């Protein structure tokens, strides 16, 4: 089995990083109370409070779809709506789970360059209609870093915060790659979350190096009322929760969460630089975190696929996404780049 050619398809094609695994093994000594009443869960929760410099409510879920859907459902009544970018994961990759979990809250799609919502786009959706027949806007959902690998700057976040306050909207952040954003922006987790108006953050552990597990962090504690029941009802209350919380603690306590994210970002930067020097390759979006989106000639894409390289091509014709993760190696990037060069040279 070749287990190397698929590594650029997604950051969740990676395995478990050593720190997460070590803590998982530590948590496997003997027995512990179930359903989150264990000391690993307590310690991980307290660590998040320290990391974010605020007393927040923390919950754990198995995956990002559940984290996003349940947290959005907690912010919305069924007659409300969620403003998000047309490329957002909640719109394109969650099989309607946000609408399902909220009993029908509608997603309102906005466009915006580089995968980002703007204050203007949000405002035009909010003010378009104010009558009883339109689902009432209640939440803005932003993804940091975005689905196309870009970042909302602090200024962009603050302008969204301003529009949210003006129209009494809550802010949900899909942090599938929150760690990559923190690493790339050199800002504190607090600065790019609650200090920028985020009410609830879905912080992904899976893509950062865990086997599985997301933290749902309510900075606005009032919104977390009965959220534990919502998780349980949705089948997201892990009975052996320590096997989600202990690896989280491993990532946080050892600093691996940032180290992993920095490494992934640096790998993407390295790949970007190599690709920029190849004639016939064009970047599709600014490379700001751990994703590289490039336009390659169609014949080259076919040759790479035939060689076994795996990557997504869902963004437009000729567009290829290469993701880096904690376990991406320079050697493998060099091999990919060489294959890209020779594929383009063939015709």
Ligand X SMILES: *Cc1c(COP(=O)(O)O)cnc(C)c1O
Under the rule (CB under 6 A), what is the footprint of ligand X? 63-65, 89, 143, 147, 174, 176, 206-207
Cβ neighbours of residue 289 closer than 8 Å, sequence gap 6 or more: 145, 149, 150, 151, 177, 180, 181, 183, 184, 264, 265, 268
- Rounded to a whole number of angstroms, the distance between the first and last alpha carbons of the chain is 29
What is the side-by-side strand order in the sheet with 291-295? Answer: 282-283, 291-295, 319-323
Decide whether 62 or 303 has the Cβ nearer to ligand X.
62
Tokens 């695994």 — which residue?
Answer: 21
The CA distance from 294 to 314, in Å, is 12
User: How far apart are CB 182 and ligand X at their closest, in Å?
Assistant: 16
Cα distances from 318 to residues 96, 166, 346, in angstroms, run 27, 41, 17
Residue 65 or 327: the one with the smaller Cβ distance to ligand X is 65
Give the CB-nearest residue to ligand X.
64
Work out how close the CB of 177 gets to ligand X at its nearest, in angstroms, rounded to a whole number: 7
Contact of 271 with 292, CB cutoff 8 Å: yes
Q: Are 272 and 292 in contact (CB under 8 A)?
A: yes
Q: Which is nearer to ligand X, 126 or 200 (CB)?
A: 200
Closest separation between CB of residue 37 and ligand X, Å?
25
Name the strand (E) or helix (H) holding 295. Answer: strand 291-295
Contact in structure between 117 and 87 (CB atoms under 8 Å): no
Among residues 33 and 96, whose Cβ is nearest to ligand X?
A: 96
Nearer to ligand X, 206 or 265 (CB): 206
Closest CA to 116 of 268, 288, 314, 235: 288
Q: How far is the CB of 63 from ligand X (least distance, A)?
A: 3
We find the least distance from the C-beta atom of residue 84 to ligand X, in angstroms, to be 11
Helix (H) or strand (E) holding 63: none
Tell me how far, at minimum, the Cβ of 65 lies from ligand X, in Å.
3
Rounded least distance, CB 165 to ligand X, Å: 25
Q: Which is nearer to ligand X, 210 or 294 (CB)?
A: 210
């Amino acid at each position: 089995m070749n287990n190397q050619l698929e590594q650029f398809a997604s950051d969740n094609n990676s395995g478990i990083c050593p720190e997460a695994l070590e803590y998982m093994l530590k948590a496997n000594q003997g027995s512990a109370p179930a359903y989150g009443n264990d000391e690993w869960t307590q310690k991980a929760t307290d660590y998040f409070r320290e990391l974010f410099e605020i007393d927040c409510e923390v919950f754990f879920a198995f995956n990002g779809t559940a984290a996003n859907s349940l947290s959005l459902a907690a912010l919305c009544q069924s007659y409300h709506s969620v403003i998000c970018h047309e490329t957002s994961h909640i719109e394109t990759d969650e099989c309607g789970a946000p609408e399902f979990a909220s009993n029908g809250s509608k997603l309102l799609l906005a466009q915006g360059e580089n995968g980002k919502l703007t204050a203007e786009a949000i405002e035009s959706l909010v003010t378009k209609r104010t009558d009883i027949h339109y689902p009432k806007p209640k939440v803005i959902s932003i993804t940091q870093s975005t689905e196309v690998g870009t970042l909302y700057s602090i200024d962009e976040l603050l302008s969204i915060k301003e529009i949210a306050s003006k129209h009494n909207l809550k802010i949900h952040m899909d942090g599938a790659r929150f760690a990559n954003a923190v690493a790339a922006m050199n800002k504190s987790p607090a600065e790019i979350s609650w200090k920028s108006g985020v009410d609830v953050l879905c912080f992904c552990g899976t893509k950062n190096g865990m086997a599985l597990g997301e933290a749902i962090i309510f900075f606005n504690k009032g919104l977390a009322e009965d959220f534990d029941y919502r998780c349980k009802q949705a089948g997201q209350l892990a009975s052996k929760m320590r096997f989600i919380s202990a690896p989280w603690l491993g990532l946080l306590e050892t600093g691996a969460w940032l180290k992993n994210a920095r490494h992934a970002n640096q790998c993407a930067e390295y790949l970007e630089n190599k690709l920029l020097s190849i004639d016939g390759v064009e970047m599709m979006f600014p490379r700001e975190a751990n994703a590289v989106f490039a336009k390659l000639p169609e014949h080259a894409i076919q040759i790479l696929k035939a060689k076994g390289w795996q990557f997504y091509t869902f963004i437009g014709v000729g567009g290829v996404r290469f993701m880096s993760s904690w376990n991406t190696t320079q050697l493998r990037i060099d091999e990919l780049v060489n294959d890209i060069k020779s594929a383009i040279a063939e015709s």
